[in-house]
Amino acid sequence: MNAAANPVPAKSDAPSASSAFRGQLGTYLGLTAVLVGMIALFGSMSEYFLTRDTFVSIANEIPALAVMAVGMTFVLIIAGIDLSVGSVLALSAAVTAAAILQWKLAVPLAALLGLATGLVCGTVTGAVSVAWRLPSFIVSLGMLEAVRGGAYLVTDSRTQYVGDAISGLAAPWIGGISVAFVLAVVLVVVAQLVLTRTVFGRQVVGIGTNEEAMRLAGIDPRPIRIIVFALTGLLAGLAGLMQSARLEAADPNAGVGIELQVIAAVVIGGTSLMGGRGSVVNTFFGVLIIAVLEAGLAQVGASEPSKRIITGAVIVVAVIIDTLRQRRADRKGL
């Protein structure tokens, strides 16, 4: 009897793995279909949309959003959230500009200081949330205001023009595509490999799926949580450098509201707001969808209020789809 029963678990695992693969493939195909459909729609509405200049412009505008969305993917997978990334972007850019213009540091040192600023901000958010067991929503909301105030102080509430000091990040490289875009794509690939192929990535997913089970398995989730928030802050700092390079300036108002776009891109990509599930590659699809939506609406002459309404509706629909998908998965699990 025992010999006959032993093969059963192995048989039940195979359909599970196959089902997971089909689900992931379905998500990829679905996101690709949405992206292609939007491109076709806006291409039919504007004669200028399906041009090389449009796609190069989109590619060169999304690196900062894409880099922050990578970090936010990890945060949402551990069932957290970070609302401070826009403010961290602004402060990191401000510190870099101050280091170049006021403190007369070499550009590489100034850039490292900007990245370190983002890293410290993310670490503080994660450490406070973990140490006092506070919801990351509340902690990051407080950091959003505090860090934004820091950006105003560093810049004296004025835009700091750095000129071409760090413009190399935004310089055209391959076919007009900027170095920043190539760097963002490389980060997406590396982050996806970390998430799916490393022990750290499996621990991140495990924390979001069942944190108590991770504790019982002898894994302390606290340092992992702090590391995730620290990396998110570091990537927000990198996004600040990218944006400053593109604009050749550090604006204390930079990144206001961008955290909503970041979260929207991650959710559109299929990462669960409840934690435990997500893909960096899918998040990049979400970034592309938002970028194409904004570019298309601008080219067809949509007003600013209309663009906000449509973008907001897309976000709500994405959340509804995520909720329905989660309920369906839960029913299958039962």
Query: Is residue 4 in some structural domain?
Result: no
Flag whether 288 is in a domain: yes
Question: What is Dmax (Cα atoms) for the chain?
Answer: 79
Confidence band, pLDDT 50/70/90 cuts, at residue 19: low
* Mean pLDDT, rounded, for 4-13: 42
Average pLDDT over residues 110-136: 98
Residue 73 pLDDT greater than 90, yes or no? yes
Decide if pLDDT at 220 tops 70: yes
Burial class (CB in 10 A: 0-12, 13-18, 19+), 319: middle
In sequence order, what are the residues at sequence separation of 6 or more whose Cβ sits closer than 8 angstroms to the Cβ of residue 240?
64, 88, 89, 90, 91, 92, 93, 96, 114, 118, 250, 254, 255
Q: In the numeric block, which tokens belong to residue 129?
A: 């949330």
Instruction: Identify the pLDDT of residue 12.
Output: 41
If one counts every other C-beta atom within 10 angstroms of the C-beta of residue 1, the result is 5
- The answer to whether position 324 is within a domain reads yes
Average pLDDT, the chain: 91
In a domain, 25, yes or no: no
**Residue 249 phi, psi dihedral angles, 5° rounding:** -160, 160
Residue 50 pLDDT more than 70? yes
Please check the confidence at residue 15 and state whether its pLDDT lies above 60: no
Q: What's the CA gap between 258 and 266, in Å, rounded?
A: 13
Window from 125-139, 181-195, 293-307 with minimum mean pLDDT: 293-307
Q: What is the DSSP string of 254-321?
A: TTTTHHHHHHHHHHHTT--TTSS---HHHHHHHHHHHHHHHHHHHHTT--HHHHHHHHHHHHHHHHHH
Determine the pLDDT at residue 11. 40
Over residues 165-178, the mean pLDDT reads 91
174 phi, psi to nearest 5 deg: -115, 110
Written as six digits, the tokens of 7 are: 């093969």
Q: Is residue 64 part of a domain?
A: yes
The one-letter amino acid at 123: T
Report DSSP letters for 6-75, one per residue. Answer: THHHHHHHHHHHHHHHHHHHHHHHHHHHHHHHHHHHHHHH-TTTSSHHHHHHHHHHSHHHHHHHHHHHHH
**Do 115 and 234 meet the contact criterion of CB atoms below 8 Å apart?**
yes
Q: Give a yes or no: residue 227 inside a domain.
A: yes
Residue 306 CA to chain centroid, in angstroms?
Answer: 25
**Residue 282: Cβ within 10 Å count:** 21
How far apart CA 262 and CA 271 sit, in angstroms, is 12
List the CATH number of the domain containing 216.
Answer: 1.10.3470
Q: What percent of the chain has pLDDT over 70?
A: 91
Rounded to whole angstroms, what are the CA distances from 210 to 13, 20, 85, 219?
A: 20, 18, 26, 12
Q: What is the tally of structural domains in the chain?
A: 1
The predicted pLDDT at position 14 comes to 40
Q: Rounded distance, CA 273 to CA 204, Å?
A: 14
pLDDT, tens only, 226-267: 999 999 999 999 999 999 999 999 999 999 999 999 999 999
CA–CA separation, 11 and 94 (whole Å): 57
Does the residue 23 lie in any domain? no
Question: Strand 177-178 and strand 249-250: pairing?
Answer: unpaired
Indicate whether 190 belongs to any domain.
Answer: yes
What would the mean pLDDT of 71-92 be, rounded to a whole number? Answer: 98
**Host domain of residue 138:** 49-333
This prediction's pTM: 0.91
